[in-house]
Amino acid sequence: MAAAAENLRTEEIQLNMGPQHPSTHGVYRALLTLDGEKVVGVENIIGYLHRGIEKLAEDRTYTQVIPYTDRLDYLAGMLNNLGYVQTVEKLLGLEVPERAEYLRVIMAELSRLASHMVMVASMALDLSGWTAWFPPFRERERILDLFEMTCGSRLTVSYMRIGGVAADIPPGFLPALESFLNDLPRMIAEMNGLITGNEIFKARCQGVGKIDLETALAYGITGPNLRACGLPFDLRKARPYGIYDRFDFDIPTLNNGDSYDRFVIRLLEMEQSARIIRQAMEQLPDGPVQAKVPRVLKLPRGEVYHQIEGAKGILGFYLVSDGGSKPYRLHIHSPSFVNLGALPRISVGGTIQDFVVNIASIDIVLGEVDR
């Protein structure tokens, strides 16, 4: 019998997963080379979304670029807004009013929460956990309600402005936010009960898609995926921007670097985002929410690079000004694009089922990949 198995001939086949496959999380295509169900090769094929945001920015004023940033990681629009406007302010040397700084932090952390909620819900769904899909989306709707209450939009918010924010929060915002924060631990407990302790989920994820810290650093992985490998690196602590140095919060880490840890780290980070928001609410000062900025904004000649801790990793903007009212050049360092580069490395040697787990666990968004 053993001799027969050794002489059994197999033939590798290539399988296209995506761009229409739901578990590829958008218009991403993976060309898998399979030996039976074993993955022996993965080729990332991107570019189906062809946004062209960086080129479009060259023909828009600095303020007109803001709505385009929403379309990058469209699950965390406030964070994209923040990274871009802070880049412009850095080259301009512009001081932002205190109240606007605190509102930015509140909105940015709510955006991080909303993004992580989509990740944990969609990863559970990719593994056929239909019930576990509902609690994160239930709470995420409340975040989107807060956004809509403030700026009239839920997803593509365009709330940040160069020099501050578009508008102050309405009277009912803080009570609604307080109610949401009070209920958030219930949702996290539900996910821990439904998913993290589930035997099937653990069997599908533990030890799958494992990547060690040295390899993660070599691939340039950042954000929760890096912290799941054991490195407590977070720009909000390492190189604080805005007013993040005023808040007390921890940087959760896990040590296995597998798909399971990449899931759990998001739940842990939700708790820390809630801590930051509560402190920002307590410290929120009165005052204006917008600095005085010329209607036609012209930046001095020069170049600047600024980066923030996005929901999926380090989000950076490289901006070149020729002294005019439009960017001469804008380049975006997007974490989803960088993190996607490691997907073949963590998937080869596993099965097709493991590949679905891996792509869900690294949490990409195609608006940021095909920017």
Average the pLDDT over 365-369 and give the result.
Answer: 91
Full DSSP string of 14-37 = EEEE-SS-GGG-SS-EEEEEEETT
**Structural domain of 334:** 2-370
| Mean of per-residue pLDDT scores for the chain | 94
pLDDT on residue 286? 96
Work out how many domains the chain is built from and give that number. 1
Per-residue model confidence as pLDDT tens digits over 115-171: 999 999 999 999 988 899 999 999 999 999 999 999 999 999 999 999 999 999 999
Full DSSP string of 76-137 = SHHHHHHHHHHHHHHHHTPPPPHHHHHHHHHHHHHHHHHHHHHHHHHHHHHTT-HHHHHHHH
pLDDT on residue 276? 98
CA distances from 196 to 122, 132, 281, 353 (A): 14, 11, 31, 19
Q: Single out the residue of 76, 96, 207 nearest to residue 143, CA to CA.
A: 76
pLDDT on residue 8? 66
For residue 251, the SS3 value is coil
Per-residue model confidence as pLDDT tens digits over 344-365: 999 999 999 999 999 999 999 9
For residue 319, the SS3 value is strand
**147 exposure class (CB count in 10 Å sphere: 0-12, 13-18, 19+):** buried
Per-residue model confidence as pLDDT tens digits over 203-251: 999 999 999 999 999 999 999 999 999 999 999 999 999 999 999 999 9
For the chain, how are helix, strand and coil distributed in percent, rounded to 5?
A: 50, 15, 35
Q: Is the pLDDT of residue 5 over 60?
A: no
Per-residue model confidence as pLDDT tens digits over 172-192: 999 999 999 999 999 999 999
Percentage of the chain exceeding pLDDT 90: 88
pLDDT on residue 20? 75
Q: Which segment of 7-11, 68-72, 259-263 scores lowest on mean pLDDT? A: 7-11
Residue 294 and residue 104 in contact, taking contact as beta carbons nearer than 8 Å:
no
CATH number of the domain encompassing residue 285? 1.10.645.10
pLDDT on residue 2? 54
CB atoms within 10 A of CB 105: 24
Backbone φ, ψ for residue 156 (5° rounding): -95, 90
CB atoms within 10 A of CB 239: 12
Average the pLDDT over 97-119 and give the result.
Answer: 98
pLDDT on residue 6? 61
Identity at 138, one-letter amino acid code: R
pLDDT-derived band at 64 (thresholds 50, 70, 90) equals very high
